[in-house]
């Protein structure tokens, strides 16, 4: 009897112990949080985040949870930036001089022009008064050109043709097209009158906005060019786009320099 009673009491103690543990466990799980209905259970698990996740959580995030990477500029760039007055719009001559002064490249940098226009799809065909950069070789399409293309030789930068030559050039469209050499009326390389072929200028460029943004990026020359040549190229492009009527903002910069806002 004693053994039986002891066993019975032990079972009761174990049952009570299990009930107590379940009750304690349920109390730990029942946590009231604003916005939740009473009695909803929330499990809280404490764990250390891996080092990589900690860094990611501390990084700045933009809309949609995307990380924002802050670009760290070089000391030379920061020093050049201090020479430009924040928010100031400079006349063309002052802007060109300032870009040259703030350029910190060891090579002859390229002078760039960046425009913000009023609408997407704007374009202009411009013949610059001065060559922007190296002089481009112009090829007038003829029988010799066809022989070159058949052998895979391309030794020209611009290909100009008359409408009667186009059927002969079509078989080479896969070669010329990707290089931007296929003559077409939009960039002025398809010339209706053969008399005007020789007068075609390699300084003629077709400028247009990006597909989804009213932005135009082009080159107006090299840093080593005379200021007056760069200014005249700049003003020619402004005029081609209608000046203040179509251009909202304009900036000039070198390959390695901060940008300078230009008066339109």
**Using an 8 Å Cβ cutoff, are 142 and 168 in contact?**
no
pTM above 0.75, yes or no: no
In the chain, where are the structural domains located?
87-133+203-261, 138-196
pLDDT at residue 63, as a whole number: 56
Determine the Cα–Cα distance for residues 248 and 210; give it in Å rounded to an integer.
15
**Fold (topology level) of 87-133+203-261:** Ribulose 1,5 Bisphosphate Carboxylase/Oxygenase (3.30.190)
Determine the average pLDDT of the residues in 221-225: 93
Cα four-point dihedral sign 159, 111, 222, 93: positive
Three-state SS sequence of 170-209: HHHHHHHCCCCCCCCHHHCCECCCHHHCCCCCCCEEEEEC
pLDDT at residue 39, as a whole number: 52
Closest residue by Cα to residue 176 from 127, 141, 134 = 141
CA–chain centroid gap for 24, Å, is 59
pLDDT at residue 67, as a whole number: 62
Is the pLDDT score of 3 beyond 90? no
Is the pLDDT score of 247 beyond 60? yes
The domain 138-196: what is its CATH number? 3.40.50.790
Tokens 């080479």 map to which residue?
172
Is the pLDDT score of 69 beyond 90? no
The fraction of the chain above a pLDDT of 90, given in percent, is: 44
Neighbours of 18 (CB within 10 A): 10
CA–chain centroid gap for 230, Å, is 25
């Amino acid at each position: 009897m004693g053994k039986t009673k002891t066993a019975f009491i032990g079972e009761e103690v174990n049952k009570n112990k299990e009930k107590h543990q379940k009750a304690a466990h349920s109390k730990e799980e029942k946590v009231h949080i604003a916005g939740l209905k009473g009695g909803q259970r929330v499990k809280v698990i404490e764990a250390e985040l891996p080092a990589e996740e900690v860094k990611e959580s501390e990084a700045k995030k933009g809309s949609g949870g995307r990380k924002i990477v802050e670009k760290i500029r070089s000391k030379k760039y920061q020093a050049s930036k201090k020479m430009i007055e924040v928010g100031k719009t400079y006349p063309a001559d002052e802007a060109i001089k300032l870009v040259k002064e703030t350029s910190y490249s060891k090579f002859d940098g390229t002078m760039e022009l960046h425009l913000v226009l009023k609408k997407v799809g704007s374009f202009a065909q411009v013949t610059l008064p001065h060559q922007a950069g190296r002089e481009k070789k112009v090829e007038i399409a003829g029988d010799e050109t066809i022989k070159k293309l058949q052998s895979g030789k391309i030794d020209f930068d611009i290909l100009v043709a008359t409408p009667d030559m186009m059927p002969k050039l079509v078989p080479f469209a896969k070669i010329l097209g990707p290089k931007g050499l296929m003559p077409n009326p939009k960039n002025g390389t398809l010339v209706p009158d053969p008399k005007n072929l020789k007068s075609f200028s390699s300084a003629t460029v077709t400028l247009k906005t990006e597909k989804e943004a009213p932005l135009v990026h082009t080159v107006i020359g090299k840093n080593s060019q005379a200021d007056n040549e760069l200014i005249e190229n700049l003003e020619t492009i402004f005029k081609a786009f209608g000046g203040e009527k179509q251009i909202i903002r304009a900036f000039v910069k070198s390959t390695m320099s901060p940008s300078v806002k230009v008066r339109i």
